[in-house]
Amino acid sequence: MNRTDRLYALVEELRACAPRRLSARELAARFEVSVRTVERDISALQQAGVPIYADVGRTGGYTLDKSRTLPPLNFTPTEAVAVAILLGRSRGSPYHRSARTALHKIIAAMSAADGAAARELADRIRFISPVEPDEPASVPAVLEEAVATRRVVRIGYVDRAGAVTDREVEPVSFTARDRCWYLVGWCRLRGGARVFRTDRIRYAVLLDERAPVRSAEELGCPVPGDVVLRPVELV
């Protein structure tokens, strides 16, 4: 069994046995590999976002949270590549990291044959992108957490004139147009609602303070007459 098949089978084995725990030794015997190989595989799955939990000790083992996983979704190779294309466009967005882990989960749930076919097809598709330097810890990632947890964020913002100001912002939502993302929130420096282009935010630091609950409609940020705001549709 190759590693891709084994990772898929590990998830299904843990799902079938949950909530009972399986030790690394039991899994190693089941898949005819070493305990160390099982530990490396479990670590790879956890890093990809699979909700596998471990207890140490003689009675410990691995278990999978069935409430946070789905059985195999049977993506076709073309469906998987279509998702990869859309997620590939998320670079620079607040949810780029989450997009990558979502794609890893999709590929891990596919059969070995379909996964190989998806990779072969993906290898024949190219994006034309400017050469960019490696980015430090992503500002969009901090903003993503700020919106998700409703926590105040301190940012350094560059205005149109090139001046940098330090601001504390109570985040409310994200808005996107084409590939440009905006953070919508209450700016404490200006004492009102503001819209910040994320590519003009030079740094972002998450604070411990919880922000008041506000809606985007409550802030009343102006929208050009030739556009409408649409929420993300999950169905």
Predicted local confidence at residue 227, as pLDDT: 62
Predicted local confidence at residue 68, as pLDDT: 65
Q: What angle do CA 119, 124, 129 make, to 5 degrees?
A: 105
Average pLDDT on 171-192 reads 88
Q: Which long-range contacts (CB under 8 A, 24 or more apart) does 52-57 make?
A: 52/11, 52/14, 55/21
Judge whether 3-68 and 139-219 match in fold: no
Which of 8-22, 65-79, 82-96 bottoms out in mean pLDDT, i.e. has the lowest?
Answer: 65-79
Dihedral of the alpha carbons of 173, 65, 10, 107, in degrees to the nearest 10:
-20
pLDDT more than 90, % of the chain: 34
Tell me the average pLDDT of the chain.
83
Predicted local confidence at residue 225, as pLDDT: 60
Predicted local confidence at residue 120, as pLDDT: 93
Answer yes or no: CATH 1.10.150.20 is held by domain 3-68.
no
Q: Sorting pLDDT into bands at 50, 70 and 90, what band is 40?
A: very high
User: Helix 112-122 crosses helix 77-88 at what angle (to 10 degrees)?
Assistant: 50
Q: What is the CATH number of domain 139-219?
A: 2.30.30.520
Q: Give the other-Cβ count within 10 Å of 13's Cβ.
A: 18
Considering only residues 184 and 111, tell me which one the structure prediction assigns the higher pLDDT: 184
Q: Sorting pLDDT into bands at 50, 70 and 90, what band is 136?
A: very low
Q: For 89-213, list the strands marked E by DSSP.
A: 151-158, 164-177, 180-187, 192-197, 201-210
pLDDT in tens, 84-127: 888 877 776 788 778 888 888 788 777 778 888 999 999 998 87
Q: Sorting pLDDT into bands at 50, 70 and 90, what band is 73?
A: low
pLDDT over threshold 70, residue 226 = no
Q: Sorting pLDDT into bands at 50, 70 and 90, what band is 153?
A: very high
Predicted local confidence at residue 66, as pLDDT: 67
Q: Name the residue ranges covered by the structural domains of the chain.
A: 3-68, 77-122, 139-219
Average pLDDT on 15-43 reads 90
pLDDT in tens, 213-222: 988 778 776 6
Question: Cα–Cα distance between 153 and 143 in angstroms, integer?
Answer: 8
Average pLDDT on 206-219 reads 88
Identity of the residue numbered 44: A
